[in-house]
């Protein structure tokens, strides 16, 4: 059976154009039509992608590297040929992380034109003239890529989840779980100062469940495989109940480790659903993703509300001019309420900005422990002053903002996993066939970190929460 999908390492021109003009947007691991919400492309990280390594920390920016790194190499070669192109490297500063494959090809062809001109004997004067034109065109390509990056939000908050459920196997889940456990251990010292203890014993149980699942799906006999998989599922269900309770407690106490438990909860639901997928129980896997999405989103929203503080206008103060702008804040609000635009968000903050200017200490005193506690700020015999607390709070706010973006990105990726299962069902293929999707004849370009899975026509698939 011919599957009506195109799998490629390069981003199609019409998709790049749609991302530029806003008719298409990226939401988690999918690109959708902004009006109809139909899915036009799934994004899947390539095997051994460095993106995966970056995904593990919510305080790092995740760079979705598009195929087309050759453009940078081509620009470097041109610069070696003509000193005037040395500027290209600066002008294309971030292109190696955001280059679009089809534009990269254009860059290679441009350099090829120069080489052919030189060989055909048109003379160095002609070559220099062509190089001058190429320098301008490469500059335009760089501007195009940066423009597209803004609409696609290629440089975005990191996530504990990868792009595509197919690349979130048990080994990756185990790796993410270990990283979360390490971060909780690092938080133990601080929490001990406020008489709080962390129970990490359940992480060992979670790891044991993952090992059981890995062993189950290496068994030859179907009955043994299914029996062991069901045992692992029972443990994952237990983990879901435990970490839902832990998350609720930490959010209620407005603590700094609520996000770690939230992410662990996401991994528990994912691990359970992955077991059902390995058993080709698509409908059950989808139901578990839907249940998980409802549980996780409601708690992420509470956590984001907490981090927005009593006065979200604090994130728009002058000292954050080059770090946080109204557009970034609007994206946070649009996740909560998609009907809001920048004007609406600014109107929400008018009075908040005025209050902040009038009495910044009132906001400071209301900061939740998730952002700042007095015991964290070093001071003299009499404890930290208001100025000490204020300086530390202002230092942390950009990082806190990244955490909000990271949690929202994780939520969107988790929800987009549902659309993959819906597509599998609609296309009538198995999960294992979905895993094997790869370009049939296309050679993977150097630096290509993503695959694009494009249906022959947009699919009306939306996550249910």
Q: Please give the pLDDT value at position 155.
A: 40
Residue 334 CB-density burial (10 A; 0-12 exposed, 13-18 middle, 19+ buried): middle
Task: Determine, yes or no, domain membership for 56.
Answer: no
Residue 260 has pLDDT above 70, yes or no: yes
Query: Quick one: pLDDT band at residue 77, thresholds 50, 70, 90?
Result: very low
Q: Please give the pLDDT value at position 338.
A: 92
Output the furthest CA–CA distance in the chain (Å, rounded): 81
Q: Please give the pLDDT value at position 47.
A: 61
Q: Please give the pLDDT value at position 240.
A: 97
Query: Quick one: pLDDT band at residue 322, thresholds 50, 70, 90?
Result: confident
Query: Quick one: pLDDT band at residue 279, thresholds 50, 70, 90?
Result: very high
Matching residue, tokens 């999908």: 5
Average pLDDT of every residue of the chain: 78
Q: How is the beta sheet containing 450-455 ordered, strand by strand?
A: 5-8, 450-455, 39-45, 30-33, 24-27
Residue 105 has pLDDT above 70, yes or no: no
Task: Give dist(CA 437, CA 9) in Å, integer.
Answer: 12
Residue 384 has pLDDT above 70, yes or no: yes
**Full residue range of the structural domain in which residue 84 is found:** 70-152
Per the model's pLDDT, the better-predicted residue between 310 and 97 turns out to be 310
Task: Give dist(CA 269, CA 290) in Å, integer.
Answer: 10
Report, as an integer, the average pLDDT of 314-319: 92
Query: What's this model's pTM, rounded to 2 decimal places?
Result: 0.77
Which residues face 25 on adjacent strands? 32
Per the model's pLDDT, the better-predicted residue between 210 and 139 turns out to be 210
Q: Please give the pLDDT value at position 2.
A: 55
Residue 272 has pLDDT above 90, yes or no: yes
362-to-137, 205, 224, 314, 356 alpha-carbon distances in Å:
53, 44, 62, 12, 8
Number of domains in the chain: 1
Q: Please give the pLDDT value at position 119.
A: 39
Task: Determine, yes or no, domain membership for 96.
Answer: yes
Task: Determine, yes or no, domain membership for 434.
Answer: no
Report, as an integer, the average pLDDT of 29-36: 92
Find all residues with CB under 8 Å of 190, minimum gap 6, and list them.
256, 373, 375, 376
Q: Residue 320 in contact with residue 357, Cβ under 8 Å?
A: no
Give phi and psi for 362, each to the nearest 5: -65, -40
Task: Determine, yes or no, domain membership for 284.
Answer: no
Task: Determine, yes or no, domain membership for 464.
Answer: no
Residue 406 has pLDDT above 80, yes or no: yes
Report, as an integer, the average pLDDT of 380-394: 77
| Token pair for 38 | 């139909």
Neighbours of 308 (CB within 10 A): 19
Task: Determine, yes or no, domain membership for 206.
Answer: no
Q: What angle do CA 23, 414, 345 make, to 5 degrees?
A: 50
Residue 254 has pLDDT above 60, yes or no: yes
Which residues face 454 on adjacent strands? 6
Task: Determine, yes or no, domain membership for 287.
Answer: no
Task: Determine, yes or no, domain membership for 261.
Answer: no
* Eight-class DSSP state of 4: S
Q: Please give the pLDDT value at position 143.
A: 42
Task: Give dist(CA 311, CA 432) in Å, integer.
Answer: 48
**CA end-to-end span of the chain, whole Å?**
33
Query: Quick one: pLDDT band at residue 4, thresholds 50, 70, 90?
Result: confident
Report, as an integer, the average pLDDT of 290-318: 95
Q: Please give the pLDDT value at position 465.
A: 60
Q: Please give the pLDDT value at position 458.
A: 87
Per the model's pLDDT, the better-predicted residue between 123 and 373 turns out to be 373
Residue 328 has pLDDT above 80, yes or no: yes
Q: What percent of the chain is modeled with pLDDT above 70?
A: 73
β-strands 5-8, 450-455 pairing = antiparallel
């Amino acid at each position: 059976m011919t599957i009506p999908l195109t799998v490629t390492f390069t981003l199609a021109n019409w998709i790049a154009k749609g991302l530029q003009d806003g008719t298409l947007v990226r939401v988690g691991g999918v690109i959708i039509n902004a009006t109809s919400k139909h899915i036009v492309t799934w994004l899947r990280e390539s095997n051994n992608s460095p993106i995966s390594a970056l995904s593990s920390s919510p305080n790092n920016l995740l760079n979705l590297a598009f195929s087309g790194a050759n453009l940078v190499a081509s620009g470097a070669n041109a610069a070696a040929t003509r000193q005037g192109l040395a500027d290209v490297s600066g002008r294309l500063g971030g292109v190696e992380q955001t280059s679009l494959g089809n534009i990269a090809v254009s860059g290679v062809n441009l350099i090829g034109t120069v080489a052919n001109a030189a060989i055909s004997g048109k003379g160095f004067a002609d070559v220099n003239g062509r190089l001058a034109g190429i320098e301008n065109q490469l500059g335009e390509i760089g501007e195009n890529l940066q423009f597209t990056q803004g609409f696609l939000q290629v440089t975005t908050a990191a996530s504990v989840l990868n792009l595509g459920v197919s690349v979130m196997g048990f080994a990756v889940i185990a790796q993410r779980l270990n990283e979360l456990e390490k971060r909780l251990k690092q938080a133990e010292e601080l929490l001990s100062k406020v008489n709080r203890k962390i129970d990490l014993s359940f992480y060992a149980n979670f790891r044991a469940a993952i090992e059981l699942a890995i062993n189950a799906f290496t068994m030859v006999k179907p009955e043994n495989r299914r029996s062991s998989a069901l045992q692992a599922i029972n443990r994952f269900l237990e983990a879901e109940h435990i970490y839902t309770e832990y998350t609720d407690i930490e959010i209620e106490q407005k603590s700094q480790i609520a996000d770690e438990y939230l992410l662990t909860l996401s991994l528990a639901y994912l691990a359970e659903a992955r077991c059902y997928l390995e058993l080709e129980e698509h409908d059950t896997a989808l139901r578990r993703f839907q249940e998980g999405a409802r549980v996780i989103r409601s708690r992420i929203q509470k956590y984001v509300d907490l981090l927005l503080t009593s006065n979200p206008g604090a994130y728009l103060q002058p000292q954050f001019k080059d770090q946080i702008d109204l557009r970034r804040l609007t994206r946070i609000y649009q996740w909560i309420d998609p009907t809001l635009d920048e004007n609406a968000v600014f109107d929400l903050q008018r009075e908040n900005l005025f209050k902040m200017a009038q009495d910044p200490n009132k906001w400071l005193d209301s900061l939740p422990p998730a952002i700042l506690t007095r015991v964290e700020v070093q001071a003299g015999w009499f404890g930290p002053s208001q100025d000490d607390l204020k300086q530390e709070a202002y230092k942390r706010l950009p990082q806190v903002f990244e955490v909000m973006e990271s949690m929202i990105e994780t939520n969107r990726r988790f929800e987009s996993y549902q659309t993959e299962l819906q597509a599998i069902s609609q296309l009538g293929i198995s999960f294992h066939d979905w895993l094997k999707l790869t370009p049939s004849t296309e050679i993977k370009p150097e630096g290509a970190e993503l695959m694009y899975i494009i249906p022959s026509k947009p699919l009306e698939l939306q996550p249910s929460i």
